[in-house]
């Protein structure tokens, strides 16, 4: 066990932020920490890290626990270069290497190898070398290159100064540094922000096999589903525990609420029955003892608190008032060009959008997705190709950073000024639907939170009732509950929808098709995100098979010589048979290991397992050992195949 928290309370002034928190973090297990914006997740992480103090309760850490913490403020050295920042992680290893070099010089100057001085220096050299070897010092550069490539820095100059990097690049670099540190407990606060799909998939695969514990705050539901084995939810200051990933949490939370409500109702019914009996019979001589017995039962009963209801969540419903014709949008041979220097981001975009289609646009960061949305609306110009909207089309647009809102107006006026004919009561009702109420509606747009600005923008879309909605990263500032509401509203909308998003959970639920944009144009996938991944994987496998086949053909040709007429020697045939037998043996071992891994993951969702930290720790350790063996099996199988 790495961390145990029991009865922790945290206050900011008179407001209690965390109430009687109980949680454990076990070795090599992966936890997700979730909750609405402002619930106290980052506060809890800072308490665990020792950055914030707490007023009551107990927090016990394993002695000498090595913890790595990715803050929303990345903490990188601004004036350092990429490679220098990564190599800082191994300062102690490099110092051991420098000490080895100094000791080598000292030993070379001593001619008497039996002297005490030589033995002393030799012993110090052995200690330094053992430390260098234990930290895998000879592979440091390989490790750094592997991690930086995975985090999207493969083409970046390693001498680039960190202060010149974008915010997203700094986040990725901070993650890379943490992964190189390999702490026993990796604490991540929104690690998926600013990551493209390729980097996300690499990071997820790396974390699934990470040789340590992980505690992550994330609003990325797809990430939580793939990475974590346990969910802690902060709600109304309390922390609730659920075994499994995000999808399992949703089911378990609904079951918990239903169970608590039923237990409370049954107890209230029991209390009412007991009280009625006592009231009727306490004064009667014949039934007084029986009534007193029931009264004692009432007095000794542990009264359940009324279960908290669901937290209020926003309500969205997108509607449209007129129907467009079948052909909504036709784009032909469009180049996405931006800036005064007319930089070309991508070329030759052709796309047809039909009535009621829901189309998601994806692509790497900076490829021009947002610019494409602006070009088709006429917000920025285009210089080649054509954009043709159909008849009866009306458009609502959600801008990624909500810069189309008037920052100086109060929220109420920003909405009402756009729709002056709508009664104030209706305006306030719509604002109330997205939880903008009371004093919030009188705050200037520029000082409300990013999530509140997003909700104000959704109010505009609800009132515009357009038959085409264009959304640019609509989930960026939303918590998990708000994302679920938005996802439902988008799915139920009866009009046409074109949207850009990195939210893979939403990309699985909403679109009819996915359009991927790259430098050369676009490609359409007739399905959701999982279908897109399946196609990508099939094509990668096919490409690998073709490459392997070509390599095998070259190897066969190279192995042939005029003297052997293409025939294999007895030793070659025996080696080939051994290779095939080992391949079959490895396939059996892989199948057995994957079956056992699946069994372990199912066992770790059982209450009798996850509630017993020793047993849970054993399961986690076994799971990690099997993952390591699987990796070795796959490597050997790939080499032999």
Evaluated on CA atoms 519, 366, 523, 323, the torsion sign reads negative
pLDDT (0 to 100) of residue 570: 66
Question: Measuring CA to CA, which residue among 358, 328, 314 is closest to residue 507?
Answer: 358
397 strand-pairing partners: 470
**Per-residue pLDDT averaged across 492-518, rounded?**
95
Query: Which CATH entry fits the domain spanning 327-527: 3.30.70.3170, 3.40.920.10, 3.30.230.10, 3.40.50.300?
Result: 3.40.50.300
pLDDT (0 to 100) of residue 610: 60
Structure tokens, 634: 């796959």
pLDDT (0 to 100) of residue 455: 94
Q: Is the pLDDT of residue 159 over 80?
A: yes
CA distances for 279 relative to 195, 276, 517, angstroms: 66, 5, 75
pLDDT (0 to 100) of residue 560: 62
Task: Give me the numbers of helices (H) and strands (E) for the chain, helices first please.
Answer: 20, 18
pLDDT (0 to 100) of residue 82: 94
Check if the beta carbon of residue 271 is closer than 8 Å to that of residue 301. Answer: yes
pLDDT (0 to 100) of residue 489: 96
Question: If you search the block for the tokens 């796309």, which residue do you land on?
Answer: 351
Residue 346 burial (10 A CB sphere; 0-12, 13-18, 19+): buried
Question: Measuring CA to CA, which residue among 531, 513, 501 is closest to residue 192?
Answer: 501
List, for residues 383-400, the tens digit of each pLDDT value.
899 999 999 999 999 998
What is the share, in percent, of the chain residues with pLDDT greater than 70?
96
List, for residues 307-362, the tens digit of each pLDDT value.
887 788 899 999 999 988 899 999 999 999 888 888 889 889 999 999 999 999 99
Task: Specify the DSSP class assigned to residue 308.
Answer: P
pLDDT (0 to 100) of residue 563: 47
pLDDT tier, 170 (very low <50, low <70, confident <90, very high otherwise): confident
Structure tokens, 471: 């959304």
Q: Is the pLDDT of residue 419 over 90?
A: yes
Q: What is the DSSP string of 147-194?
A: HHHHTT-TTS-TT-BGGGS-HHHHHHHHHHHHHHH--SEEEEESTTTT
- Mean pLDDT, rounded, of the chain: 88
pLDDT (0 to 100) of residue 614: 67
**Per-residue pLDDT averaged across 143-152, rounded?**
90
User: H-type helices in 60-157, by residue range?
Assistant: 82-87, 91-108, 116-134, 140-150
pLDDT tier, 554 (very low <50, low <70, confident <90, very high otherwise): confident
Check if the beta carbon of residue 61 is closer than 8 Å to that of residue 2. Answer: yes
pLDDT (0 to 100) of residue 355: 94
- Edge to edge, the sheet with strand 395-398 lists 395-398, 468-472, 496-500, 358-362, 513-518, 521-525
Q: Is 326 helix (H, G, I), strand (E, B) or coil?
A: coil
List, for residues 21-50, the tens digit of each pLDDT value.
999 999 999 999 999 888 899 899 999 998
Q: How many CB atoms lie within 10 A of CB 500?
A: 21
Q: What is the DSSP string of 514-566?
A: EEEEETTEEEEESS-HHHHHHHHHHHHHHHHHHHHHHHHHHHHHHH--TTTTT
Question: If you search the block for the tokens 């496998």, which residue do you land on?
Answer: 541
Rounded-to-integer distance, Cα 238 and Cα 461, Å: 35
Residue 333's H or E segment, with its range, is strand 327-338
**Per-residue pLDDT averaged across 134-154, rounded?**
89
Check if the beta carbon of residue 338 is closer than 8 Å to that of residue 368. Answer: yes
Specify the range with the lowest mean pLDDT, choosing from 349-353, 476-480, 577-581.
Answer: 577-581
Question: If you search the block for the tokens 């996802």, which residue do you land on?
Answer: 487
CA 31 from chain centre, in angstroms, equals: 12
Check if the beta carbon of residue 615 is closer than 8 Å to that of residue 641. Answer: no
213 strand-pairing partners: 185
Question: Measuring CA to CA, which residue among 166, 157, 153 is closest to residue 194?
Answer: 166
List, for residues 248-303, the tens digit of each pLDDT value.
999 999 999 999 999 999 999 999 999 999 998 988 888 889 988 999 999 999 89
Q: Is the pLDDT of residue 541 over 60?
A: yes
Question: Measuring CA to CA, which residue among 168, 172, 157, 195 is closest to residue 81?
Answer: 157
**pTM to 2 decimals?**
0.74
Q: Is 90 helix (H, G, I), strand (E, B) or coil?
A: helix
pLDDT (0 to 100) of residue 595: 84
Spatial neighbors of 160 by CB under 8 A, at least 6 apart, are 81, 82
| φ and ψ of 397, to 5 deg | -130, 130
Question: If you search the block for the tokens 């409370």, which residue do you land on?
Answer: 264
What is the share, in percent, of the chain residues with pLDDT greater than 90?
53
Q: Is the pLDDT of residue 619 over 50?
A: yes
Spatial neighbors of 474 by CB under 8 A, at least 6 apart, are 398, 454, 458, 486, 499, 501
**Per-residue pLDDT averaged across 464-486, rounded?**
93
**Per-residue pLDDT averaged across 194-220, rounded?**
90
Q: Is the pLDDT of residue 147 over 50?
A: yes
69 strand-pairing partners: 187
Q: Is the pLDDT of residue 54 over 50?
A: yes
Specify the range with the lowest mean pLDDT, choosing from 24-33, 263-272, 601-610, 631-640.
Answer: 601-610
Question: Measuring CA to CA, which residue among 180, 36, 28, 155 is closest to residue 477?
Answer: 36
- Out of 403-407, 500-504, 589-593, the most confident range is 500-504
**Per-residue pLDDT averaged across 82-109, rounded?**
92
């Amino acid at each position: 066990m790495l961390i145990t928290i029991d009865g922790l309370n945290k206050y900011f002034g008179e407001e209690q932020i965390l109430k009687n928190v109980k949680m454990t973090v076990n070795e090599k297990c992966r936890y997700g920490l979730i909750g609405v914006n402002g619930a106290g997740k980052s506060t809890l992480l800072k308490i665990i890290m020792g950055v914030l103090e707490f007023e009551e309760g107990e927090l016990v850490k394993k002695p000498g626990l090595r913890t790595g913490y990715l803050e929303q403020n990345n903490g990188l050295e601004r004036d350092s270069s990429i490679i220098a920042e990564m190599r800082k992680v191994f300062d102690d290893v490099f110092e051991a290497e420098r000490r080895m070099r100094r000791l080598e010089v000292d030993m070379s100057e001593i001619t008497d190898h039996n002297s005490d001085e030589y033995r002393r220096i030799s012993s110090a050299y052995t200690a330094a070398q053992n430390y260098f070897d234990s930290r895998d010092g000879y592979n440091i550069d390989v490790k750094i290159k592997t991690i930086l490539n995975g985090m999207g820095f493969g083409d970046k100059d390693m001498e680039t100064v960190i202060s010149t990097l974008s915010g997203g690049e700094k986040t990725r670099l901070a993650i890379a540094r943490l992964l190189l540190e390999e702490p026993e407990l990796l604490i991540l606060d929104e690690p998926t922000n600013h990551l493209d799909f390729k980097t996300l998939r690499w990071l997820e695969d790396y974390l699934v096999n990470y040789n340590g514990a992980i505690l992550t705050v994330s609003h990325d539901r797809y990430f939580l589903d793939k990475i974590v084995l346990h969910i802690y939810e902060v709600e109304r200051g309390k922390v609730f525990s659920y075994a499994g990933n995000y999808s399992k949490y949703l089911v378990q939370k609904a079951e918990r609420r239903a169970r608590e409500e039923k237990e409370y109702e049954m107890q209230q019914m029991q209390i009412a029955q007991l009280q009625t009996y006592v009231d009727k019979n306490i004064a009667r001589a014949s039934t007084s003892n029986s009534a007193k017995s029931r009264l004692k039962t009432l007095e000794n009963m542990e009264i359940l608190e009324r279960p908290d209801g669901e937290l209020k969540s926003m309500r969205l419903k997108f509607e449209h008032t007129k129907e467009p014709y079948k052909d909504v949008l036709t784009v032909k041979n469009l180049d996405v060009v931006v800036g005064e220097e007319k930089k070309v981001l991508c070329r030759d975009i052709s796309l047809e959008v039909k009535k009621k289609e829901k189309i998601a646009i994806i692509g790497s960061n900076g490829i021009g997705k947002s610019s494409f949305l602006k070009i088709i609306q006429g917000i920025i110009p285009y210089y080649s190709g054509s954009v043709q909207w159909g008849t009866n089309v009306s458009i609502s647009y959600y801008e990624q950073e909500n810069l189309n809102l008037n920052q100086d107006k109060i929220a109420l006026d920003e909405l009402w000024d756009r729709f002056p004919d709508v009664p104030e009561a209706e305006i306030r009702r719509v604002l109330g639907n997205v939880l903008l109420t009371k004093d919030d509606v009188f705050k200037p747009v520029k000082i409300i939170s990013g999530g509140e600005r997003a909700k104000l923008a959704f109010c505009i879309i609800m009132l515009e009732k357009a038959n085409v909605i264009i959304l640019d990263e609509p989930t960026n500032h939303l918590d998990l509950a708000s994302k679920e509401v938005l996802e439902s509203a988008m799915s139920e909308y009866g009009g046409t929808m074109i949207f850009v998003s990195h939210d893979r959970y939403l990309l699985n639920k909403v679109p009819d098709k996915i359009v991927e944009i790259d430098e050369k144009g676009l490609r359409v996938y007739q399905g959701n995100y999982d279908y897109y991944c399946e196609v990508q994987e099939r094509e990668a496998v096919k490409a690998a098979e073709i490459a392997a086949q070509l390599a095998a053909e070259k190897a066969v040709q190279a192995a042939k010589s005029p003297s052997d007429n293409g025939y294999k020697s007895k030793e070659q045939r025996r080696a080939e048979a051994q290779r095939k037998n080992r391949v079959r043996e490895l396939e059996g071992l892989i199948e057995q290991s994957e079956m056992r891994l699946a069994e372990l993951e199912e066992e770790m969702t059982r209450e009798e397992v996850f509630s017993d930290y020793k047993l849970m720790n054993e399961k986690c350790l076994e799971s990690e050992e099997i993952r390591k063996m699987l990796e070795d099996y796959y490597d050997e199988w790939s080499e032999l195949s």
